[in-house]
Structure 1
Amino acid sequence: MRALAAAVLLLALAACSSGDAQESSASEPGFEVPTGLSLSDPGTEKKVRESMAVAYPSADDEAGTALTLGVARIDKVPRRDLSLFTVPEGMQPYYVRVVMGNRGPAAAEFPEGLPWWLHLAGDVLVPPTATPAGLTACAAPKVGASFAAGQTAKGCLLFLVPRGTAVESVDFQPGDVTTAVRWRP
């Protein structure tokens, strides 16, 4: 079932076109957007299992590129998955399964890691936690500091959230809060 959901999301990312994404009302991007692809504006919200295309790092960057992004699932981590690891007291771990594709024209550079965040109630942003070695149930997307045009990656991000705190969205935020796009559960 997970493989089917990931395959459907990958197909949606590959087909992301003007009908699938909110068309940008901003001026023309500083880079050439691939034919048939419409970029979503910062602030765009989708539901989990939907995809969108965004300019990265920003639309006005001449060295920018178009990324297709999707969030396939948000799941509380089953206790058995982390039974061999120490989870800080009072924290609830979550798996967030994401899909990314670089549609070009340039490589995407991630010198500080992937800009995915979990947005919690109270307007709190939580970065992903490093996945412990040996945790096979949640392997991070294979994206290095540079993500070449034409590459696609899917994987899992691990987040630790204070118990009882509501998850409002999964955000991809390459800059300040005004650059975020988000997926609501």
Structure 2
Amino acid sequence: MTIEASRALAPGAALDGTPPPPPRWAVWVAHAVPLIALPSTLWRLAMAIGVPVGYSTEVLRHDYGIPGNGYLVLPAICVLQEGAALLTLGLVRDWGIVAPRWLPLIGGKQVRTWAAVTAALLGAAILTAVTISQAAVWDSVDSENLKGMHRAVMGWLYMPLLLWGPLLAVVTVNYASRRRRRA
């Protein structure tokens, strides 16, 4: 490759057309997202397995379906939440460039940058809007059903979710920038 051709490459671009690797900070942030989602997941799982979280038997039955379908719904929400959080890792891993072969229809194909970026930024915007709106009404949510230390613990376990949307947005912008810089 000539010097002129190498200068035409964007800084950090690979010669084979693949995007440059993510910076260390982006990898750390992407790994933090599933950890941020974990405390609220553990709270829901605790409820589902019968750990006393401060709700009365009546509230658990009426609002959360425990006993009953809540034994399936709450763990399903937990799996979906952690699964969505783990998708952030795709923005800093190879499977954010080429879809894993085991995926139906898209397996082994290159991930379209616009599709990944659009989905991730839309998700970040929705997560940010939902968590901020819920934080704004926190004083009135479940204030009669959950009191004292139980309410404080729940609040501390759900508070990290406020970071999910903004951190996803930061990693997404870095992903888009790296994908744009490929040779």
TM-score normalised by the chain length of structure 2 = 0.22
Structure 1 or 2: larger helix share?
2
Considering only CA atoms, is the larger Rg found in Structure 1 or Structure 2?
2
Structure number with higher relative contact order (C-alpha < 8 Å, ≥ 6 residues apart): 2
Structure 1 or 2: larger strand share?
1
